A and B are shown apart, each in its own frame.
Chain A
Amino acid sequence: MNNQSKYISGFAAIVFGAAVLLPLVSLVFGSLFVEGGLMITNFTEIFQQRTVLLSILNSVIISILASFVSVAIGCCFALLFTKTDLPFRKVLFFLLLLPLLLPPYIVTVAWTDVWLFLGISKNLVYGLPAVVFILSTIYVPLAAFIISGSLKNISASIEEAGLMMTDYKTLFFKIILPLLRPALFSSFILVFILSVSEFAVPAYLSVNVFTTEIFTQFTAFYDYSSAISYALILTAICLLLILPENHYLSKAPFVSFGKKSFRQLTVSLKNKNFWLIIGFAYIVFVVFLPITMLVSQWLIGDSISFVDIVELLFPALKDSLLLSVVGSLLVTLLGFAFALMSVKYKTKAIDSILLFVFAIPAIVTGIALVKFYNSPMLNFVYGTSLIILIAFVARFLFVSQKIIAGGLMQVPDSFREAAIIMGAPPFYTFRKITFPLLADALFTSFFIILIFCVAELTTVIMVYPPGTSFLPVRIFTLMANAPQSTVSGMCLVALLSTLSLITIMMGGRKLLINQQWKRTQ
């Protein structure tokens, strides 16, 4: 590795360490070490409370089930939409993404309205199975996206060799599934962490989970020391799941990317109509049903007009999308630098540190940032949108680093070494060799982080500068007393604007890839 990339990685590490890690570590140590000693009583008290233990159990059950269901269904759809010749598969895959673009709280409200409208018993609506169902519908697209990337990377020659010996079913279980295991495991972990940190969905459905306990300590008792002890237990649960497999995960691409040189085997479906009906049925009953409920509430209710809703949200929409684009770009750049450290320098501690930061609940991250940056010297950060960008880095760098590291692992060193031997300068080599091969990974990182940034509420509400307005904050602060029809209308406007942005980005990506392809030709 050349000096330039060392300096870039070093600079990124310093920025991350000072901007994100330092505030978090100082908050954790400040809360746990009081008067020179460890506040061990916080932990012992937690494990003596039956209700708290039950809430931990609920959290773990919900997260495991939601992760399992999301990965299982996500894997099926990834196979169907990536490996087969199913008609409309690209449209279906795009539609599958929709639940991920809505705030989980809104999805929950919409689903409960659907169920109660259909006359389903309240005992079923308000309970643990409903939480698992809703979280699964939200995270199926995420798992499908990750697994699809990995599937695209399986060379046709491997599958063709297998098919000479056996049928596709056996091939799938003996060859494809083992090759997919890293992606399956990665998506399981990501969904697990996102589910275990979720507060809004279980709270609305009256299920006591561990995040409720953390939230209660912060917002009802204002006991930061206990709240942080609770949060550390949540983080430990995530790390417990991940650390034993860390060596396995760190070698696995979080999302794998196909190369133009790879041929991909497309399986011809025998019963296309059947699979098409399955795909459409899922989209209609799982994706469109809650959205239809939002649309009907908006149309039937006495809402303000669509134009008025757009006007109401426009300042927040503009700021939010702009800041999310900048945030996503920044996170992706840092993700690239950290991926370099992890993949090229084999600095494995990086993965664990980023994972630790990602697993810390959003409210703790918010409080850490407020405590650290709210000083006269750092007002230029705390009083401005810079604090939001730092919050985005803290929340999502792990995801970006994993995506890009996956891509980076697939760039053969020999390509770059050949260019250097030919006398190409390092930056020229990066621009002409590494970057084009990594473009898909960088784009995917940008795309996923953008979705996360637009929807991020918990950290943003803690740090957003006075006088500014961000879309999720705007929607949630208006919804408390706005009519349901207006709230539904606002959510639809938010959904449409995010969709438009994604469509533009996808168009841009296609254009970029086509240009590259032409140049290569």
Chain B
Amino acid sequence: MKRIVIELLAVSLIAFSLFACNDKTNEVVVYTSVDQVFSEPVLMEFEMETGIEVKAVFDTEETKSTGVLNRLITEKDNPQCDVFWSGDPMRADVLKQRGITRAYRSGETKGISPVFIDKDYNWIGFSARARVLLVNTDLVREEDTPKSILDLTKEKHKGNFAIANPLFGTTSFHFAALFMELGNEKAKVFLKGLKKNDVVIASSNGDVKKRVATGEIAMGLTDTDDANEAIKEGSPVKMVFLDQDGFGDLIVPNTVSLIKNSPNNENGKRLMDFLLSPKTEKMLAKSCVQMPLHKDAPVPANVPSLDNIVPMAVDYGAIAKKSEEIKLYLKEWVVE
């Protein structure tokens, strides 16, 4: 019997020593909800430039990109992550409200409009996407293309357009912004109009892109990076910036936040500086047509410039709070 106990203990010790060897001095841990195809090359570039090992946790479309957010919330009392790179300000603000992030005033914020920076510096915006209407040009004539998001409630578009589930991702952010812009009453009328017009609720922005690109549906609201992917694939689609004669199109910046009491705070700051630099914005502009927020950053020819888009005038922190407020309504609306 003693032999068995000794053997079991020996196995446990070997397993322990195998798994427990973990040098954390020259590393930084980043959790990101930004698609891996775009975020990984940037993180690798940081690794090459600084020699600091980047350990990343990426999120998946299947978990609606909120897996890392749940991890960060659950890990609050013993943070494992140093930097949270979010695809939109809303998630960053959720963490701020829960006291999970801390302020960091990076030197790289010079040149970025204060609109894209949290007033307490708990998150800082950089490279932005925009919400666009992806239109299948085989199915929709130029003159029938909606110019405003409100046009989607018109009878002629009935059953011809899709949105992603507004409880998740950038669509939830977009809808919260609409509630801010239109006011609760008008926004609810608009949503009822969408339902009446047989809006298709897809599982994600990627799903919207796929359905429009394949012609399964004529139009859909998605992000510029998804739209660009469909264009790159050679699908008969175009992206339309909405409400350019009205309240403008929603701009969705990436954000980066420093996690409070994280194990490698200093390395975290270096990564934040790198992410906020014009160099990263240039990389993201090239890989996924994200629009640089630095005023002097070069914009590649295929990337829409913020100078040419009428943006929705919004308070990003307030949108995050509005989103919390309307979620119950949206949940009911989705299954209505």
Chain A interface size range? 35 or more
Min C-beta distance of B171 to chain A, whole Å: 11
In contact, B63 and A383 (Cβ under 8 angstroms): no
- The A interface, classified by DSSP as helix, strand, loop or mixed, is helix
Render A380-402 as a binary contact track against B, CB cut-off 8 A, 1 for contact: 11111110000000000000000
Instruction: Verify B288–A481 contact, CB threshold 8 A.
Output: yes
Assess the A4–B55 pair: CB atoms within 8 A. Answer: no
- Say whether A466 contacts B70, CB under 8 Å: no
A213 vs B200: C-alpha distance when bound (angstroms): 19
CA distance A462 to B31 in the complex (A): 12
Is there a chain A Cβ closer than 8 Å to B210's Cβ?
yes
B residues in contact with A51, CB < 8 Å: 331-332, 335
Does B22 lie at the interface of the complex (its beta carbon under 8 Å from any beta carbon of A)? yes
A165-173, A236-244, A259-267, A366-374: which lies at the B interface?
A: A366-374
Q: Is the CB of A374 within 8 A of B70?
A: no
For A371, what are the chain B residues with a Cβ–Cβ distance below 8 Å? 74
Docked pose: A302 CA to B19 CA in angstroms = 41
Q: How many residues of B contact A (CB 8 A)?
A: 68
Contact of A483 among B5, B31, B233 (CB under 8 A): B233
Provide the bound-state CA to CA distance between A11 and B1, in Å.
Answer: 12
Out of B60, B74, B81, name the residue touching A367 (CB < 8 Å).
B74
Inside 8 A of B232's CB, which chain A residues have their CB?
A: 483
Which residue of A8, A113, A206, A380 is within 8 Å of B203 (Cβ)?
A206
Given A466-B29, A481-B35, A481-B229, A4 and B207 contact (CB-CB distance below 8 Å): no
What CA separation (Å) do A220 and B210 show in the bound complex?
24
Choose the segment among A94-102, A471-479, A494-502 that binds chain B (4+ C-beta atoms closer than 8 Å).
A471-479
- Interface flags, A293-316, vs B, CB<8A=1, else 0: 000000001100000000000000
Partner of A7, one of B4, B67, B206, B327: B4
**What is the bound-complex CA distance between A134 and B178, given in angstroms?**
37
- Report the bound CA distance from A383 to B80 in whole Å: 8
A116 touches B80 (CB 8 A): no
- Chain B interface main SS type: mixed
List chain A residues, Cβ under 8 A from B288.
481
Question: A41-85 CB contact bits vs B (8 Å, 1 = yes)?
Answer: 000000000010011000000000000000000000000000000
Q: A3 on the interface (CB 8 Å rule)?
A: yes
Using CB atoms, name the residue of chain B closest to A369. B74
Q: Looking across the interface, which residue of chain A has its beta carbon closest to that of B216?
A: A116
Q: Is the CB of A376 within 8 A of B225?
A: no
Tell whether A467 pairs with B53 under 8 Å between CB atoms, given A7-B4, A51-B335, A367-B70. Answer: yes
Q: Are B74 and A479 in contact (CB under 8 A)?
A: no
**Chain A's nearest CB lies how many Å from the CB of B31?**
8
For B1, give its contact among A7, A385, A464 (CB under 8 Å): A7
* B131 CB to nearest A CB, Å: 16
Q: Given that A208-B335, A370-B74 are contacting pairs, would A480 and B20 also be in contact in the complex, using a CB cutoff of 8 Å? A: no
Chain B residues with CB under 8 A of A4? 1, 4
Q: Is the CB of B61 within 8 A of A461?
A: no
Are A384 and B22 interface neighbours, CB within 8 A?
yes
Q: Which residues of B contact A (CB under 8 A)?
A: 1, 4-5, 8, 15-16, 19-20, 22, 27, 29-31, 35-38, 53-67, 69-71, 73-75, 77-78, 80-81, 94, 167-168, 172, 200-204, 206-207, 210, 214, 216, 225-226, 229, 232-234, 288, 327, 331-332, 334-335
Question: Can you pick out 24 interface pairs between chain A and chain B where the beta carbons lie within 8 Å of each other?
Answer: A8-B4, A51-B335, A105-B62, A204-B207, A206-B203, A215-B64, A219-B63, A219-B70, A219-B168, A220-B168, A222-B73, A302-B234, A367-B70, A374-B78, A461-B67, A462-B67, A462-B71, A464-B57, A466-B81, A473-B58, A477-B60, A479-B206, A480-B36, A481-B229
| 6 A-B pairs with least C-beta separation | A467-B55, A466-B55, A476-B60, A384-B19, A219-B66, A380-B20
Given A367-B70, A462-B67: 4 more A-B contacts, CB < 8 Å: A367-B74, A383-B22, A467-B29, A478-B36
